[in-house]
């Protein structure tokens, strides 16, 4: 899935230095069982499904997913947006599925936060409509994320 923004990446972008020859499955088996043509696409599909499981667990169980790679830390969490930021984003249509009275004028956004050489970056994650409906239904039912 490609988005027209400079802040997104694809699952295949994460496998720049991965050795695909380590996967001991031949091409016929990959095509027949997994519906993809290359080992790179198979790895990308596995990664996308992994992110789907992580995000659905965050939405359903209100958790923060943290992992470390060497000295760097990455996390996927729900960020609460309140006050003037909430008003501006709501006017622009970011939280149109959220009832602002039941959410106590708070919007929630799933974010990917990671360390890099000179600091910390945080990017919003865009989720599909099925997960977004579950997320907004939880918020409208009064569930608070932290």
pLDDT, one tens digit per residue, over 77-127 is 999 988 899 888 888 888 888 888 888 888 889 998 888 778 888 888 888
Distance CA 21, CA 19 (A): 5
Question: Across the chain, what does the average pLDDT equal?
Answer: 82
Q: Domain limits of the chain?
A: 7-60, 62-146
115, β-bridge pairs:
120
Q: What is the average pLDDT across 23-50?
A: 82
| Residue 3 pLDDT exceeds 50 | no
Residue predicted with more confidence, 93 or 19: 93
pLDDT of residue 15: 61
SS3 of residue 43 by DSSP: helix
Strand segments (E) across the chain: 65-69, 72-81, 107-116, 119-124
In sequence order, what are the residues at sequence separation of 6 or more whose Cβ sits closer than 8 angstroms to the Cβ of residue 10? 1, 2, 44
Distance of CA 115 to the CA centre of its chain: 16
Split at pLDDT 50, 70, 90, the class of 1 is very low
The secondary structure of residue 21, as a DSSP letter, is: G
Distance CA 14, CA 18 (A): 9
Distance CA 94, CA 24 (A): 44
| Residue 9 pLDDT exceeds 50 | yes
Question: HSE of 119 in the Cβ direction (CA atoms, 13 Å)?
Answer: 2
């Amino acid at each position: 899935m490609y988005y027209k923004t400079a802040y997104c990446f694809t699952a295949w972008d994460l496998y720049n230095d991965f050795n695909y020859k380590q996967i001991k499955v031949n091409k016929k088996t990959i095509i027949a069982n997994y519906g993809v043509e290359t080992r790179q696409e198979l790895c990308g599909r596995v990664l996308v499904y992994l992110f789907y499981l992580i995000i659905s667990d965050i939405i359903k169980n209100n958790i923060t997913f943290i992992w470390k790679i060497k000295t760097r830390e990455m996390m996927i969490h729900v960020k609460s947006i309140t006050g003037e930021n909430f008003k501006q984003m709501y006017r622009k249509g970011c939280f149109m599925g959220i009832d602002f009275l039941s959410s106590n004028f708070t919007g929630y956004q799933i974010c990917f936060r990671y360390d890099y050489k000179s600091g910390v970056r945080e990017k919003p994650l865009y989720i599909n409509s099925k997960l977004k409906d579950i997320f907004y239904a939880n918020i409208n039912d009064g569930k608070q994320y932290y």
